[in-house]
A and B are shown apart, each in its own frame.
Chain A
Amino acid sequence: MSAIRFPIPDATIIDRRDAIIAGLSELVPFDCLVVSENERRAYETDALTAYRRMPLAVVLPRTTEEVSAVMAFLHKSGVKVVARGAGTGLAGGAIPLEDAVVVGIGKMNQILKVDYPNRTIRVQTGVTNLGISEAVMADGFFYAPDPSSQLACTIAGNIGMNSGGAHCLKYGVTTNNVLGVKMVLVDGTIVDIGGAHLDSAGLDLLGIVIGSEGQLGIVTEATLRILRSPEGARPVLFGFESSEAAGECVKAIIGAGIIPVAMEFMDKLAIEICEGFAHAGYPLDAGALLIIEVEGSPDEIEADLARIVKIAQAHGVMTVKESKSAMETAAIWKGRKSAFGATGRIADYICMDGTIPTGQLPLVLRRIDEIVASFGLRVANVFHAGDGNLHPLILYNCNDPVEQEKAERAGDEILKLCVEVGGCLTGEHGVGIEKRELMPYQFSRSDLDQQMRVRAVFDEGWLLNPSKVFPLDGREAA
């Protein structure tokens, strides 16, 4: 029934399971090793829950040295490794294989050094995304990338997927905010890339590690850029009659030379779902909603808002509602950031993540509606409007295999559309297993071969997260 295939597990590895576990138990204490079926079940999937595979075992090392020892042992034993952060990934990048050991960094969750003069923080990568900002918030600093899962997701996962978030329009995504990493290579070698300084020596290896989805090594520590918070920030809700009007307004704001900190879009169904969950005061009569955040001193905020409101009025805005308090601000963002969770309360969904040139927004939104309707399904749209990163949520019933297949086919059509109009398959969630077989729509054979040759420089034997990102092609699959 499942559309996404997995490689056939290597029986010779599974036969050696007891020996492999015995070897691991010499490297880490018993409470860092998960072997029973019941406990392993917690690791059999990530946030792409329609797919699951029981791993051979799970190791949760406490130090970089333990990760190194584990990796060296598994490398010598020819055992595959699936790296795992918090398991919040939406593309199946952390879904295990039956002949692989999961190496999770959840126990490595210490903040090592906060360095305000250099505006950096050094952490073990099991720290959560929000944990970084919380550690420096009282002193007026923050860590910019803010994926919706920031409460739970780890920096390791953010680095693996090059995560984004609502505030990336101004401050960039993970790769723009990581200065250095400590990484364990497939054979256990520990390397440091970058540091507290800007730009790397030699080739930009940091640039290739970030977003590599656990295929190049396991990052155990990271030096991140932290920023001083602005004097103030205020989100404003703009309700429009239609998605087209909201899309045109986004274009006009950027065209006028204004780059807000965040510019988020929701369509009518998304507004209803999120408002029902968060009670954030979203306008239920609107056909589309923009959440636009501006920052600075009170005067600067007023001035920026005045310019934005004027543009919105020229595009027929129906309602303009400013946050009047910190509580309202929190509610507005809670609604947006819980969009996926809130949708999950009313139906199962698959979340797409393509990016398109913003000029194509009206066309693509219309086509998405048509595509999903043609499969007899419904779609809610929430996305980062400023950078064209779409998140259509296709609603379906996961207990109905026919509907699941329809939802997946609709999703594939949407992603192909994103590539056709000049965009890409994934803006911030990663390829994982979900979009693996679509890669040839975006890349030529030579493009993919070049990426795979670079991958092989780090992992000649393809032991690290081996069935992700690249099409399985001729590989045997079940």
Chain B
Amino acid sequence: MAHSAPASEAEVTEAVIAARSARRPFVIRGGGTRAGLGRPPEAEDILSTEKLRGITLYEPAELVIAARSGTPLAEIEVQLAAHRQRLPFEPMDHRVLLGSEGSPTIGAVAACNLSGPRRIQGGAARDYLIGVKLINGRGESIKSGGRVTKNVTGLDLVKLSSGAHGTLGVLTEVTFKVLPTPEDLGTLILLGLDDAGAIAALCAAMTSPFQPTGAAHLPAGLAGDRAMTLIRIEGVAASVAYRLDALRTLLSSYGTGELLDRDHSAKLWQDIRDCAFLAAPREAAVWRISVAPAEGARVADAIKSALMMRYFYDWGGGLLWLAVDPDGDAGAAAIRQAVSRFGGHATLIRAPAETRSKTSVFQPLTEPLMKITAGVKASFDPDRLINPGLMYAGI
């Protein structure tokens, strides 16, 4: 099993060309914290991005940061924090859920389109990714986008790269738009609501003029005896206080509501982001399901009628995290049937490798879309060298 760790774009190109000549497919490895995501690798060789490190551009006044793909996320966050800025989409840290070790990289954030609770208001990683450089499976250096936000020049290969889980090429450098970190945050908590009531409350909050940046529901028994419905507000201090108060009044029919201060809020939303509530027991399989927010409780009910599960909602009901028995298909059939009734997609985030190789980890696509997906993969990587089979078997 070969392991290469190129230290420059040129060396990545050499490594890909060598792999192509030797017909040896490889897996891209960043910090290794998400090695358990996707279908198990259909390759033995590893191309590590560990030596592709360093921030290449940071212009706080232009709200833009670029870094080589193997740069630890922590390094970027420290730099941003020094200028009171942040990656606005709150990328999930998978170490808690997957029990993995290592240091997450910025490349994986781009490749896996990792977004947290703020996605519902501010957008996903793919909405802030404005430039990529990658080496495709032909060993060619490809760039798309750049360092400016408004850019419609040519086909948007940036978006295509984001969420492709490295199957289209080895990202060597990524550029993100960043935003100022608001001065303050706070959370309104409504206690004891059932799922349907909670999602109605979250919908009311999200259709209010107060622009919540988080809307989650933790059913009873998950993070306490009573169910907690959570709405986050961020902004300047006076505005946060005003908006939380206005929301409390707006939602008074759902309960009196309690307020959580800045520090407690930060910890709680980090746990929601990282799906910490479902980390234990370690052996349970964990799914991530995206549906229309108002349908969240109905989708959960439909799955509950077939499976035992622990679960919670983010994105105002639109993101359903659930832990189920890992045996057999880890509930895939029941989950996919429920999701197909309401529209959306389900991804198996945590399961034994054997299950992930037998079951479709990502949402199966219709035949025409699968054909396009295969064609896009072939247009970047005709010999299926890079992360083969990671998203879909044979692609």
Which residues does A use to contact B, with CB under 8 Å? 115-120, 140-141, 161-162, 164, 168, 172-173, 175-176, 185, 189, 191-193, 195-208, 210-212, 215, 228-231, 251, 254-255, 257-259, 296-297, 299-300, 303, 355-359, 384, 387-389, 422-431, 435, 439, 442-444, 446-451, 453-458, 469
The count of chain B contact residues (Cβ–Cβ below 8 Å) is 81
Q: How far is the CA of A442 from the CA of B366 in the complex (A)?
A: 35
Indicate which residue in B59, B242, B343, B375 contacts A357 across the interface (CB closer than 8 Å): B59
Whether A199 pairs with B163 at a CB distance below 8 angstroms is yes
Min CB distance, B239 to chain A, in Å? 5
Contacts of A296 in B (CB 8 A): 239
Whether B163 pairs with A458 at a CB distance below 8 angstroms is no
Whether A453 pairs with B379 at a CB distance below 8 angstroms is yes
Whether A389 pairs with B150 at a CB distance below 8 angstroms is yes
Whether A458 pairs with B343 at a CB distance below 8 angstroms is no
Min CB distance, A462 to chain B, in Å? 14
Contacts of A355 in B (CB 8 A): 148-151
Whether B150 pairs with A384 at a CB distance below 8 angstroms is yes
Whether B62 pairs with A198 at a CB distance below 8 angstroms is no
Given known contacts A116-B207, A199-B124, A303-B236, A451 and B154 CB-to-CB distance under 8 angstroms:
yes
Indicate which residue in B142, B143, B148 contacts A423 across the interface (CB closer than 8 Å): B148
Given known contacts A356-B148, A388-B150, A422-B146, A212 and B155 CB-to-CB distance under 8 angstroms:
yes
Whether A191 pairs with B154 at a CB distance below 8 angstroms is no
Q: How far is the CA of A118 from the CA of B120 in the complex (A)?
A: 11
Beyond the given pairs A118-B294, A457-B379, 12 more chain A to chain B contacts, judged by CB atoms under 8 angstroms and listed by A's residue number, are A115-B294, A197-B344, A199-B124, A201-B345, A202-B392, A204-B113, A251-B61, A259-B179, A297-B242, A355-B148, A388-B149, A457-B376
Whether B148 pairs with A199 at a CB distance below 8 angstroms is no
Indicate which residue in A192, A229, A299, A439 contacts B238 across the interface (CB closer than 8 Å): A299
Complex A-B, nearest 9 residue pairs according to Cβ-Cβ distance, in ascending order = A207-B159, A201-B363, A257-B180, A201-B345, A427-B150, A457-B375, A196-B292, A117-B294, A453-B379
CB nearest neighbor in A for B343: A195
0/1 interface trace, chain B 142-182, chain A, CB 8 Å (1 if under): 11101111111111111110111000000000000001110
Whether B373 pairs with A203 at a CB distance below 8 angstroms is yes
Enumerate B287-339 residues with CB–CB distance to A below 8 Å: 290-295, 315, 318-319
Given known contacts A117-B207, A229-B209, A450-B140, A208 and B157 CB-to-CB distance under 8 angstroms:
yes
Contacts of B149 in A (CB 8 A): 355, 387-388
Contacts of A423 in B (CB 8 A): 146-148
CB nearest neighbor in B for A257: B180
Whether B242 pairs with A300 at a CB distance below 8 angstroms is yes
Most A CB within 10 A of own CB, among B150, B242, B343: B150
5 CB contacts below 8 A, A to B, read A201-B365, A228-B207, A355-B151, A387-B150, A424-B151
Number of A-B contacts (CB under 8 A): 251
Contacts of A257 in B (CB 8 A): 84-85, 180-181
Min CB distance, A261 to chain B, in Å? 11
Min CB distance, B27 to chain A, in Å? 18
Whether A205 pairs with B150 at a CB distance below 8 angstroms is no
Whether B239 pairs with A120 at a CB distance below 8 angstroms is no
Whether B209 pairs with A204 at a CB distance below 8 angstroms is no
Whether B379 pairs with A197 at a CB distance below 8 angstroms is no
Whether A357 pairs with B147 at a CB distance below 8 angstroms is yes
Indicate which residue in A199, A425, A444, A450 contacts B157 across the interface (CB closer than 8 Å): A450
Contacts of A359 in B (CB 8 A): 59, 61-62
Given known contacts A198-B119, A303-B239, A457-B379, A228 and B209 CB-to-CB distance under 8 angstroms:
yes
Contacts of B113 in A (CB 8 A): 199, 204
Whether A454 pairs with B290 at a CB distance below 8 angstroms is no
Most B CB within 10 A of own CB, among A198, A358, A426: A198
Min CB distance, A399 to chain B, in Å? 31
Contacts of B236 in A (CB 8 A): 303
Whether, in the assembled complex, B20 has its beta carbon less than 8 Å from a beta carbon of chain A, the answer is: no
Q: How far is the CA of A207 from the CA of B206 in the complex (A)?
A: 25
Contacts of B319 in A (CB 8 A): 198
Whether A140 pairs with B373 at a CB distance below 8 angstroms is no
Min CB distance, B24 to chain A, in Å? 23
Whether, in the assembled complex, B372 has its beta carbon less than 8 Å from a beta carbon of chain A, the answer is: yes
Contacts of A164 in B (CB 8 A): 150
Indicate which residue in A228, A356, A431, A447 contacts B208 across the interface (CB closer than 8 Å): A228
CB nearest neighbor in B for A196: B292
Whether A208 pairs with B155 at a CB distance below 8 angstroms is yes
Whether, in the assembled complex, B79 has its beta carbon less than 8 Å from a beta carbon of chain A, the answer is: no
Q: How far is the CA of A387 from the CA of B142 in the complex (A)?
A: 25
Whether, in the assembled complex, B26 has its beta carbon less than 8 Å from a beta carbon of chain A, the answer is: no
